[in-house]
Amino acid sequence: MSDLSYLSAVELARLIEGKRLSPVELTRAMLDRAERLQPTLNCFITLCGDAALDAARIAEQEIMAGRYRGPLHGLPYGAKDLVDTAGVRTTYGTVMYRDHVPQQDAAAVARLKQAGAILIGKTTTPEFGSQCITRSPLFGDTRNAWSAAHSSGGSSGGAAVAVAAGIGAIGIATDGGGSTRIPAAVNGVVGLKQSLGVVPHSQAQDTYGNQTYVTPISRTVMDTVLMLDAMAGGHACDPWSMARGAAPVWDEETVASFRGRTVKFCLAPRGKLVEPSVQQAFTAALKTIEDAGARVLPFDAGEEFDVEPIWRTVNHTVWRSRFGKLVRERPSDFSATFIRQIESAQHFTAADYQEAMFGRTRLFRHVEGLLADADILVTPTLLRPALPLDQDLYDPIEIAGQRIEGIRANWFPWTMPFNMTGHPAISLPNGFDAAGLPIGLQFIGSLGADKTLLKLALAFEVLTPEHYQQPIA
């Protein structure tokens, strides 16, 4: 059964379609692996084994009867515990919702169910997805798939760790400021934040000003493509998805190649420190891309990319509106870190919020200007590898031998901008540091150009097979 753990979704789909692998056998293997690794990794809040095996038996019967639904039919997956799943406990990482069971699936979950995918459990998230560290009073810390002494990142740490550890080839994550791409980078997997509206977000309360995304996470680019094709398309819950339409994410006509492409790159926004291992891996990646036939040009990231104040004004104002009353009424249910985040927004005015929204528009236009004569932008995903397991959101972090305040502005300054602008961005494995911790590389495409972005991500993946390794588990 261990041989199944690191097969891709593409490979598993071929075996299932060819009736050489039973969805029941596969699902049971993934549940067994989840239970075995849970004490070490702590990447699930809930496992739904009986329901998953029932669904697997139905999938097997359908496939044997010739009713194959497509490449996700019979494939197990985990869903981040922020994402609603009908009849399956969904806690949002909080003590107060520890027994909450939604009545309705989120749109993305419903679409994976329609495609025949099998939910095996809910993966860990900090309270309401509020941190870049996956820690909650409800379940504790989720450990990095490569090192028990390091954090899994966040807020989709559980989803990233499960995929990295071979507990399902695919998973559902979410991304509000890097929450898919951060844990993807530190766990050595592929994390996409698609263009705004490609996947409908049925749980967003402000759909018009939304900067959060329900996303795929997987170990390979093509597995992400399979998920995105199933999840994408217009839905009445989300106006941006209706505007985006239902054009296919993928086609077979366009060759995945850098030849003739223009790539713009930047190591870090002006004034930011970068860990030497990240810089070395970034330089090597650029050489790989250039040797493959791309024209590689630098771009400068000045004050336009000082995005953290804009992100914080928008995001924390939303959080205070959603969760301020809960925190006041039930403070003992929440961590001190979460309460501090909510309280930090109490002095933001309506004018501050609107100024931040103006800033989003300026940033969008600036990024589109950079992409006017380029196919993609390339940056590191993070400016250092994984943080220690005991890292707190409000403590300094160490980069390049220096202690520095401001985890968001200094660890992941490259992920927040594209939540604000809506551009698609993907984190890809880009090697390892001397301690064996994964390093991530980020590609960014023009709004709506997800297909081009994914083609070039696939091209890089093909050129760098050494980046796709398995943690010891």
pLDDT of residue 253: 66
CATH number at 269 reads: 3.90.1300.10
pLDDT of residue 455: 94
Identify the burial level of 347 via C-beta atoms within 10 angstroms of its C-beta, where 0-12 means exposed, 13-18 middle and 19 or more buried.
Answer: exposed
DSSP strand pairing (140-141 vs 402-404): unpaired
pLDDT of residue 1: 45
Within a domain: 398:
yes
Q: How many residues does the chain have?
A: 473
pLDDT of residue 2: 53
Spatial separation of the C-alpha atoms in residues 110 and 352, rounded to whole Å: 37
| Total of domains in the chain | 1
pLDDT in tens, the chain (473 residues): 458 999 999 999 999 999 999 999 999 999 999 999 999 999 999 999 999 999 999 999 999 999 999 999 999 999 999 999 999 999 999 999 999 999 999 999 999 999 999 999 999 999 999 999 999 999 999 999 999 999 999 999 999 999 999 999 999 999 999 999 999 999 999 999 999 999 999 999 999 999 999 999 999 999 999 999 999 999 999 999 998 766 566 777 667 899 999 999 999 999 999 999 999 999 999 999 999 999 999 999 999 999 999 999 999 999 999 999 999 999 999 999 999 999 999 899 999 999 999 999 999 999 999 999 999 999 999 999 999 999 999 999 999 999 999 999 999 999 999 999 999 999 999 999 999 999 999 999 999 999 999 999 999 999 999 999 999 76
Within a domain: 339:
no
Identify the burial level of 238 via C-beta atoms within 10 angstroms of its C-beta, where 0-12 means exposed, 13-18 middle and 19 or more buried.
Answer: buried
Residue 187, domain extent: 1-302+363-473
Within a domain: 347:
no
Within a domain: 323:
no
Query: CA distances (Å), 391 to each of 42, 90, 119, in order?
Result: 17, 26, 31
- Distance from the Cα of residue 11 to its chain's centroid: 22
